[in-house]
């Protein structure tokens, strides 16, 4: 019995140390340009989002920048989804691999899955650029960037951000 428990703990600790490929993630005040019609910036580029003036948002990265005039935003959609990191790790893992036994999640206790789940906050903007051409930008936002960006769009762009169906954590629910 003792040997089995020690074996499970050793395998679980080893799984935590193995780097795993996971879904895209941003932290702090970072933003990632996931996709869109803007070709000056490569897809999946991390950068920062600034509001230099009240009338525009500016995405800056080492690869380039995107200027989004808030007065020309035609559509803004926001969604939150959970991404299962273990599914991403399994999908990119080689075919022949030793299977690591994971302990199941018990009700009332946090999951013991070393990969866990990750929440993605995605904002899709459709706007007209300075030339009048319609552009689409899909941004992955860090948690602390959601409120300021939505506030800027709704107040300076005079457009209500549409919440798409998703896995939202509501305040006050436990």
pLDDT of residue 18: 44
pTM for this predicted structure:
0.65
Contact criterion met (CB below 8 Å) for 18 and 118? no
Contact criterion met (CB below 8 Å) for 36 and 64? no
Report the Cα–Cα distance between both ends of the chain, in Å, rounded. 37
Instruction: Locate 129 and state its tokens.
Output: 């650029």
The pLDDT tens digits for 10-22 are: 555 555 444 434 4
pLDDT of residue 173: 47
The pLDDT tens digits for 61-78 are: 999 999 999 889 999 999
d(CA 129, CA 85): 36
The pLDDT tens digits for 108-144 are: 555 555 555 578 899 999 999 888 899 999 999 988 8
| Neighbour-count burial of 99, counting CB atoms closer than 10 A to its CB (0-12 exposed, 13-18 middle, 19+ buried) | exposed
Walk me through the domains of the chain, giving residue ranges and CATH numbers.
Answer: 2-163 (2.30.29.30)
d(CA 108, CA 106): 6
Average pLDDT value over all residues in the chain: 74
More confident residue, 19 or 98: 98
């Amino acid at each position: 019995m003792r040997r089995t428990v020690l074996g499970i703990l050793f395998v679980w600790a080893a799984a935590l140390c193995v780097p795993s490929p996971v879904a895209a993630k941003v932290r702090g005040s970072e933003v990632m340009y996931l996709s869109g019609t803007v070709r000056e910036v490569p897809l999946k580029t991390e950068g920062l989002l600034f509001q230099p003036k009240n009338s525009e948002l500016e995405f800056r990265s080492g690869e380039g920048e995107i200027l989004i005039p808030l007065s020309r935003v035609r559509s803004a959609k926001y969604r939150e989804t959970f991404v299962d990191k273990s599914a991403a790790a399994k999908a990119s893992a080689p075919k022949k691999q030793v299977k690591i036994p994971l302990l199941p999640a018990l009700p009332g206790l946090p999951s013991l899955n070393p990969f866990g789940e990750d929440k993605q906050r995605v904002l899709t903007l459709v706007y007209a650029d300075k030339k009048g051409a319609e552009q689409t930008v899909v941004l992955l936002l860090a948690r602390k960037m959601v409120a300021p960006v939505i506030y800027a769009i709704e107040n300076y762009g005079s457009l209500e951000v549409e919440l798409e169906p998703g896995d939202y954590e509501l305040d006050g629910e436990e």
